[in-house]
Structure 1
Amino acid sequence: MLSRLLAASTAVLALTVSAGAVQAQDFRALARQDLQAAHDALQANHPAAVVQGQASAPFRSWIDTGLADAMAKAGQVNSGDSHAYLMRYYAGGFRDSNISMTPSFEGLSPYFAIGWPGFTTGWRDGKYVVTYVKPGVRSTPPVGAELVDCAGKSAEDLAQEKLDQWEADLTSEAGRVRSAPFLLWNRNNPFTAGMPMACNFRINNSRRAREFRLTNQPVQIADLEAAYRATVYVAPAQPLAIESVNGRPWIHAHSFADAAGWDAFNAQVEAQAATLRAQGFVLDLRGARGQSYNSTTRGYGLANRIWTPEFTVSRQPAAGEITYRATAGNRQWYAETLGRMEADPRFVQESMPVIEETRAIIAAMDAAMASGQRTFTLTGRPPVADTGAPNPVQGQVVVLVDAGCAGGCLDTLDLLQRLPNVRIAGSETSTDSIFIEQTTQRLPSNYSDLSYGHKAWTSRQRPSNTGFKPAQGLAYTGNPADEAAVRTWVGTLFQ
């Protein structure tokens, strides 16, 4: 896919505001201004506004009704964090992970709360269950207890009220997993209730639920971090590495970020390629998020270093038809991107076909706008015939994924699933839409950035808003935060 590259070069330094300046802001007015600006930018430039099909339906049903909904809530915005919550709410209503509104300042950590009951919950097998209890806290439900209701409100209704769109998209399994620890915490969201006073839990699958009073515990970041890490897999500080686990190579690729250290890691992969091919290996992509074009090329590059480009080229998903929305805003994105490409001597030397492709898109955009067309379609890279190259990897390969696998990680899985002797295991991944290649713009308040896909991959084989779900026998149902248990389970897949 054509690059969303160099997106980092368009980023603006995070806003730093003195305490006095913050107090002087009218966050309600800023929220209304940003919501309207986001609505107008999406209405003017997003492909779903004009491209027909089921993938466009959530966008069309939400863009106006969601704006009215969010505007009605804007009177409760009284801080930068509450502003961020309302922006996330509006963006989340599109049910498109490629549409986001994120704070331009450092947002809330997953280890943040202003109140908590000394324990937390996780999403396990379709239920919210207790996954962690702080040592020494009394009168709490035990680990494994299932949350039934709080003050007559079912666990599901409570989750919809406190988490959906505010913390994650609960229409996806990945959103359930990532947001579950916050269900009974007070995250200082003025639009939802804080910590409940009492809740009923079912212990050991008993027929009758037992009530527990929830007592607010002192908030320590270390306690919240321990609770979160006991519930949701968190990638290690060193995301790229190769180690031997139970005598088998285990490749860690938990990040596609620019700063992850890919040059050194790729050299390590190349040095061990012969061993990887002979023995088989585990490719661990848990937590591997990546939203830029570079993240996809890194995933493909990793596969090419192990399987060779000659073997993977005929198995790479064909680009097929790409539908572009012809607008001045979208043309500006390509013109600015082309300018950055042409100004980079290394990019000119190594990626001239991408530059030529970008020039062709701009020319087609100009022609479409001149003739009054709202969209135009170009055909990307066609399928490549099998080269006949033999499979260099003789052993079995297990690709381990989880809810943190998103963006470029999903693109990488689109390739890996087509390779022989490769099995995708673990838990369900995140999702992504067919509306790709991110435009990112600062909203008027300077407190938030809007990001959205500005072209539609209408011929993508994987449907919009879907990810990867491991097949029966390859799905891990244990504690995702118990690394020893995960490794033991993965070992059984090679038996």
Structure 2
Amino acid sequence: MTRMLTLTATAALTLAAGVAPAVAQDFRALARQDLQAAHDELAANHPAAALPGAQSETFRAWIDAGLSDALGQADRVNSGDSHAYLLRYYGAGFRDSNISIRPTYEGLGPYFGTSWPGFTTGWRGGKYVVTYIQEGVRGTPPLGATLVDCNGTSAEELARAKLDRWEGNLETEAGRVTSAPYLLWNRNNPFTSGVPSQCNFQIGNSRRSREFQLRPTPVTPAALEAAYRATVYMPPATPLSIETVNGRPWLNVHSFDDGAGWEAFNAAVEAQVETLRGPQGLVIDLRAAAGNSITNSTRRGYGLANRIWTPEFTISRQPAAGAITYRATQGNRDWYAAAVGRMQADPSFVAEAPQVIAQTQEIVAAFDAAIAAGQTTFTLTGPELAADTGAANPVQGPVIVLVDAGCSGGCLDTLDLLSKLPNVRIAGSTTATDSIFIDPTVERLPSNYAQLSYGHKAWTGRTRANNQPYTPAEGLAYTGNPADENAVRAWVGTLFGA
């Protein structure tokens, strides 16, 4: 969609300027400084501060209260990692996947820990259950045992204290899934607890729980990686490929990143398109397909759909752009003006996307008019939904789109289109969520050790509600082990029937 091209192009160009990291002496002072700067930037320019309605309530409730909360914990910041944790906590408190505060350096990876009890937990059916036990570790609860409490604290209370905002958003199913392995690990977060000393687990159908002593066990990155991968689906090293599984094409689309190899993948799709459209059906596997506007991920997803179905067939089924609301501040206006300048300074961009430059210039003009009139916000409406061309559906067979908690950002935008195509069913497990506050701008914070990213405008006309995931319908939800690839593929095969 042209609207999406405008959004992604302007966001991508904000990454052009880099700032060298500063030498830090006092991470507590840096944390306070960065927290205040993030607060002030969001208060001054984020659209939610000026928009009424439920979609803005969490923002307004957290921006000041969350700052006070985080500043009250700043004395415990003692390293770069703890600085990153506290800033992440403040950003995550907005419950908006498009607001984040991340390190500008390579931080703790998903498999980091200083100690663990030799086993890990996953989020299964609304409970924390044992999903992995390291070989040779004794005295652990068995696989499948459900955590009841630790040291007198319920599993839910423990998760809220140790994981929520620090490791994930526990208000979402996806946040529960991706953060669950860390529940009993020590991730060297000074704001939370480490490995509990004793926990009660319910085993099988027993009504009574059983107590286990947890002994911190030395870790290796390989051991923690194995535990995490046995609990949460992680994409393969080659995220884009086409296979034949159970006699049907299986399109692996586990990334929307520009560097994932899209040119070769798109060429393979085009070469095999007649097979993809055959009566046997196909699978589009979007598990772990994280993507955001900066990587042009929505464009990638729409491009894939157009190659499989043809643009003539998809155009009338693409979600309408609808209303986009902007907050009329000088800072926001200057951001768009700077984006125009960077576009015009790039000869290839001028040649390839003049319409994007023109559209962004129109946005700058609308900012000027709104600011001059003293308006707090203004709204622009994108093109209306295209008329149905009458083109026949070229895809003869059923299509299963496989998703999970890792499907986020542009993956959700892609589902907005795929879900409207005939004979398409969404299967797997609940996706991540995203807010209507789209198109991230990235601002380096004063310490140079962190950067704030937030949605620059509000897609108030979006059909999908704010923070609304895709949840597979009954009969299309996978309840087995997400890390057991053979089991997943066998299950998907049953969805096509005989």
Same fold (TM over 0.5): yes
Q: CA deviation at 1:9?
A: 4.9
1:290 alignment counterpart: 291
1:3 is paired with a residue whose SS is helix
| 1:20-31 equivalent positions in 2, closer than 5 A | 21=23, 25-31=25-31
Q: For 1:152-167, what aligned pairs fall within 5 Å after superposition?
A: 152-167=152-167
Q: Which amino acid aligns with 2:34?
A: D
What SS does the aligned partner of 1:5 have? helix
**Alignment pair present for 1:141 and 2:145:** no
* Other-structure match for 2:301: 299
Given that 1:322 and 1:377 are in contact with CA atoms closer than 8 Å, whether structure 2 keeps it comes out as: yes
| Cα distance, 1:403 vs structure 2 | 0.3
After TM superposition, list the pairs within 5 Å mapping 1:438-477 onto structure 2: 438-477=440-479
Q: Distance in 1 between matches of 2:18 and 2:360?
A: 27
What's 2:281 paired with?
A: 280
Correspondence for 1:53: 53
Partner SS, residue 129 of structure 1: strand
Distance 1:119 1:15 in 2: 40
- CA 1:16 to 1:321, structure 2 compared with 1: closer, same or farther past 3 Å? closer
Cα distance in 2 between the residues matched to 1:49 and 1:4: 23
Contact 2:19/2:448 (CA < 8 Å) preserved in 1?
no
Shift of 1:10: 3.6
Separation (CA, whole Å) in 1 of partners of 2:425 and 2:343: 37
Partner Cα distance (1:284, 1:476) in 2: 14
Q: Assess, with a 3 A threshold, how the Cα gap between structure 1 residues 457 and 6 changes in structure 2: closer, same or farther.
A: closer
Q: CA deviation at 1:6?
A: 6.1
How far is 1:330 from its partner? 1.2
CA distance in 1, matches of 2:204, 2:408: 34
Aligned to 2:380: 378
Q: Please give the root-mean-square deviation of Cα atoms over the aligned residues, in Å.
A: 1.3
Assess if the C-alpha contact under 8 Å between 1:14 and 1:104 holds in 2: no
**Aligned-partner residue type, residue 271 of structure 2:** A
Equivalent position of 1:356 in the other structure: 358
Find the aligned partners of 1:247 and 1:346 in 2 and give their Cα distance: 43
CA deviation after TM superposition for structure 1 residue 349, in Å = 3.0
CA deviation after TM superposition for structure 1 residue 276, in Å: 0.4
Instruction: Give the secondary structure class of the aligned counterpart of 1:31.
Output: helix
Q: Specify the alignment match of 1:408 in structure 2.
A: 410
Identity %: 69
Kindly tell me the number of residue pairs found equivalent between the two proteins. Answer: 490
Output the CA distance in 2 between the equivalents of 1:63 and 1:425: 36
Q: How far apart, CA to CA, are the structure 1 residues paired with 2:19 and 2:424?
A: 42
Distance in 2 between residues matched to 1:81 and 1:352, nearest whole Å: 43
Q: Distance in 2 between matches of 1:425 and 1:99?
A: 28
Aligned equivalents of 2:469, 2:19: Cα separation in 1: 31
Task: Tell me what 1:107 maps to.
Answer: 107
Q: Deviation at 1:352?
A: 2.2
Give the corresponding residue for 1:228.
228
- The one-letter amino acid of 1:333's match is W
Match of 2:491 in 1: 489
1:4 aligns with 2:8: yes
Whole-angstrom distance in 2 between the partners of 1:324 and 1:6: 15
2:334 to 324, 327, 332: 332
Map Cα deviations across residues 12-31 of structure 1 (whole Å, 9 max, x no partner).
668667xxx55xx1111100
Is the CA contact (8 Å cut-off) linking 2:21 and 2:449 kept in structure 1? no
The secondary structure found in structure 1 opposite 2:292 is: coil
CA contact under 8 A between 1:14 and 1:106: conserved in structure 2? no
* CA distance in structure 1 between the aligned counterparts of 2:116 and 2:18, rounded to whole angstroms: 33
Q: Per-residue CA shift, 1:275-324, capped at 9, x if unaligned?
A: 10113210000001111251101100000001000000000000111101
Q: Is the 8 A contact 2:84 2:102 kept in 1?
A: yes
How far the C-alpha of 1:346 sits from its partner, in A, is 3.3
Asked if structure 1 preserves the Cα contact closer than 8 Å seen for 2:322 and 2:383, the reply is yes
Mapped contact 1:15–1:447 kept (Cα < 8 A): no
The Cα offsets for residues 19-54 of structure 1, whole Å up to 9 and x where unpaired, read as: xx55xx111110000000000000000000011111
Q: Is the 8 A contact 2:13 2:339 kept in 1?
A: no
TM superposition shift of 1:355: 1.7
CA drift of 1:370 comes to 1.3
**CA distance in structure 2 between the aligned counterparts of 1:280 and 1:60, rounded to whole angstroms:** 47
Compute the displacement of 1:3 (Å): 1.9
Q: Which amino acid aligns with 2:372?
A: A
Distance 1:4 1:391 in 2: 29
Residue identity matched to 1:117: P
- TM-score w.r.t. length of structure 1: 0.97
| 1:326 positional shift | 1.1
CA distance in 1, matches of 2:51, 2:404: 31
Does the 8 A contact of 2:10 with 2:336 survive in 1? no
Name the structure 1 match of 2:185.
185
**1:489, 1:333 → 2: CA distance?**
48
- Distance in 1 between residues matched to 2:27 and 2:342, nearest whole Å: 35
**How far off is 1:339 after superposition?**
2.2
1:417 to 419, 427, 430: 419
Q: In the aligned structure 1, how far is the partner of 2:10 from the partner of 2:242?
A: 28
| 1:4 alignment partner AA | T
Aligned counterparts, 1:57-136, within 5 A: 57-136=57-136
Unaligned runs of 5+ in 2: none
| Corresponding residue SS for 1:4 | helix
Q: Which amino acid aligns with 2:288?
A: G
Looking at structure 1, the residues matched to 469 and 304 of structure 2 have their Cα atoms a distance apart, in angstroms, of: 20
Shift of 1:205: 2.4
Q: Which residue identity is paired with 2:352?
A: E
| CA shift digits 1:103-125 (9 cap, x unpaired) | 11111111000110000000000
Q: For residue 370 of structure 1, what is the amino acid of its counterpart?
A: A
User: Once the 2 structures are TM-superposed, how far is the Cα of residue 371 of structure 1 from its aligned partner?
Assistant: 1.4
CA distance in 2, matches of 1:142, 1:89: 33
Aligned to 2:40: 40
Partner of 1:268: 268
In structure 1, C-alpha distance between the alignment counterparts of 2:452 and 2:205, rounded to whole Å: 44
Letter of the 1:254 partner, please give it. H
Q: Are residues 92 and 317 of structure 1, via their aligned partners in 2, closer, same or farther at CA, if it must alter by over 3 Å? A: same
CA contact (8 A) 1:239 1:260 kept: yes
